[in-house]
Amino acid sequence: MSYTALARKYRPKSFSELIGQEHVRRALVNALASGRVHHAFLFTGTRGVGKTTIARILAKCLNCETGVAPEPCGVCAACREIDAGRFPDLIEVDAASRTKVDDTRELLDNVQYAPARGRYKVYLIDEVHMLSAHSFNALLKTLEEPPPHVKFLLATTDPQKLPVTVLSRCLQFNLKRLPSAEIAAHLRTVLGAEKVPFDDAGVALIAHAADGSLRDALSLLDQLIAFGGGRAGEAEARAMLGTVARDHVVRVLELLARRDSAELLRCAQSLEEFAPDYAQLLDALAGLLVRVALRQSIPGYEGDELYAAETLERLAAALSAEDVQLYYQTAIIGRRDLPLAPTPGSGFAMTLLRMLAFRPPGELTDAPAAGAGPENAAQARARVRPATPAASPGGTRTGTAPAASDAPAGAVTGDWGAIVAQLELTGAARQLASHCVLLGRQGAVVRLGLDPRHQLVRTLVTEEKLAQALARHFGSPVRLEFEASTAQGPETPAQAQRRASEAELAAARRTFEEDAGVKSLRERFGATVLPDTVRPVK
């Protein structure tokens, strides 16, 4: 019994049947309708987007017995023979197998002769970038000024390899990858015509796996129908593609929202029984995070065939917008680094742990309990201790409504260097704290002395971050007041660190000078020590 693959059976035979590529279809249809048809066309794009198909349709339009028209009749001898691949005036050449210059010269020897049957002699050269440099040179003159009865149709997946002299002689059309939604819609049409039962979610998985190629999508659909025993379901699609059920992806994100690392690792280990493709698993997790972010940004977002609106609403309530962005970025970076991991499973687990290891700066939340639901997680995010400074008339910036403190007036609450070491600060904000001394604290007011030589590090942003960090440290809102510190005042943490580093360096240099080997080299060879090259060993 003869069977025709879906990719061949449903190959478009006219421009009206073409899926996508509207920009190419419109240009060619208008050219054919007006009679302004160029002698050389170059079609570029990834595999399976329609380069050869469009070239064959164009060849039919040029040689249809009813006349040159935007739509071939499809029933005349020329149209039927082109569809069957046996039209004598359509010369199809696979450049990958005919790269030598002798092959090109042999091909061009017959260019001068009139067509045997059709109106035009059409040369369709596929994967033209595979031709050698000498072959391109042999082709150039004919490509620029061919006889009036000759048309050249070139197709390639890698136009960067073509000489600019060839590109300049052709009308170039770049075919785009097809959107997954457009591919899925066409697959549903094909399944309906074939009377094959299917699930929308299964079709969506196939469309996504095709990566913009309609031919790949139809080939995968053929494989899915065979794999599923005449059915295109979601479970069969996941099993064939090596992807895990979406419930497991949702479960992973729920555990990330709860920050339950132990249960998260157990869940990751349990996925090994499905032998998943961990790159696709991270893709699925990133795709779910995209939908959660859309739900948070667009309240009316209703989800799609893979994830219902209720699921997205629950996850959007359990995760902050900052966490969603952080997890998404970590997922796509983890996918990129997956080939470098010792094993794909360990790389996936480490990516999940990396998501839990970092928090967006400034997020002051209490982690919810392991069994907390979305409502508890949202309440935990709401327990933020406000400490955002605002400008005050005195030139300082204050937090929200000041709270009473048990610290007596003017009391210095601990060693400032130790406090700075405990603060969650980075960058310029830590520099600001390091160049200050703690003069005292009275209620919500924290008085700091700033080294006058480092006034430039004091900005609204750095003060704001320092106020927030101190609010976390003291457990109540604070208001910062700055004064210029004096040379006779207490030592700042930066000065203390610099003094300790200088003392360590001086000790290292003394130890080096007193080393017996160094003394021997000096005495025997007159060696000289370069002090700047001596560094303490950490």
Domain map (residue ranges) of the chain = 6-174, 180-241, 246-379, 390-490, 495-533
* Window from 192-201, 305-314, 385-394, 470-479 with minimum mean pLDDT: 385-394
Task: Tell me which residue of 326, 396, 361 sits closest to 469, measured CA to CA.
Answer: 361
* Window from 115-119, 320-324, 382-386 with minimum mean pLDDT: 382-386
CATH architecture assignment, domain 6-174: 3-Layer(aba) Sandwich (3.40)
| Site of tokens 């004598």 | 88
Average pLDDT of the segment spanning 278-293: 90
Q: Is the pLDDT at 26 greater than 90, yes or no? A: yes
506 φ, ψ (degrees, to nearest 5): -65, -40
What is the token pair recorded at 296?
């948070």
- In the sheet where 40-44 sits, what is the strand order? 90-94, 121-126, 150-156, 40-44, 171-174
Give the count of beta carbons closer than 10 Å to the beta carbon of residue 366: 12
End-to-end Cα separation, the chain, in angstroms = 77
Amino acid 442: pLDDT: 85
pLDDT above 90: percentage of residues in the chain: 29
Q: Is the pLDDT at 111 greater than 60, yes or no? A: yes
What is the token pair recorded at 255?
């555990």
Task: Tell me which residue of 53, 159, 61, 154 sits closest to 107, measured CA to CA.
Answer: 154
Q: What is the pLDDT of residues 95-106, one digit of tens each?
A: 877 777 887 888
Q: Give the chain's mean pLDDT.
A: 82
Amino acid 363: pLDDT: 44
Q: What angle do CA 75, 79, 83 make, to 5 degrees?
A: 110
Judge whether 140 and 104 are in contact, CB under 8 Å: no
Cα separation, 285 vs 282, in Å, equals 5
Amino acid 102: pLDDT: 80
DSSP reduced 3-state for 196? coil
Q: Is the pLDDT at 377 greater than 60, yes or no? A: no
Amino acid 414: pLDDT: 55
Amino acid 359: pLDDT: 59
Amino acid 4: pLDDT: 86
Q: Is the pLDDT at 459 greater than 50, yes or no? A: yes
Q: Is the pLDDT at 403 greater than 80, yes or no? A: no
Cα separation, 488 vs 508, in Å, equals 29
Q: How many helices (H) and strands (E) does the chain have?
A: 23, 10
Cα separation, 404 vs 341, in Å, equals 52
Amino acid 473: pLDDT: 86
Judge whether 388 and 464 are in contact, CB under 8 Å: yes
Cα separation, 240 vs 265, in Å, equals 25
Q: Is the pLDDT at 280 greater than 90, yes or no? A: no
Cα atoms in the 13 Å half-sphere on the side-chain side of 150? 18
Burial bucket for residue 305 (CB in 10 Å: 0-12, 13-18, 19+)? middle
Cα separation, 120 vs 125, in Å, equals 16
What is the token pair recorded at 211?
């990566």
Judge whether 234 and 224 are in contact, CB under 8 Å: no
Judge whether 101 and 134 are in contact, CB under 8 Å: yes
Amino acid 410: pLDDT: 38
Amino acid 389: pLDDT: 38
Average pLDDT of the segment spanning 340-353: 91
Name the band, by pLDDT with cuts 50, 70 and 90, for residue 40. Answer: very high
Q: Can you identify the CATH homologous superfamily of domain 390-490?
A: DNA polymerase III, tau subunit, domain V (3.30.300.150)
Topology (CATH level 3) of domain 180-241: Helicase, Ruva Protein; domain 3 (1.10.8)
Judge whether 443 and 411 are in contact, CB under 8 Å: no
Q: Which residues contact 339 (CB under 8 A, 6 or more apart)?
A: none
241 φ, ψ (degrees, to nearest 5): -85, -10
Cα separation, 316 vs 291, in Å, equals 9
* Window from 193-207, 209-223, 300-314, 498-512 with minimum mean pLDDT: 300-314
Q: What CATH number matches the domain at 246-379, 3.20.19.10, 1.20.272.10, 1.10.3720.10, 3.40.718.10? A: 1.20.272.10
pLDDT above 70: percentage of residues in the chain: 88
Judge whether 333 and 355 are in contact, CB under 8 Å: no
Cα atoms in the 13 Å half-sphere on the side-chain side of 203? 20
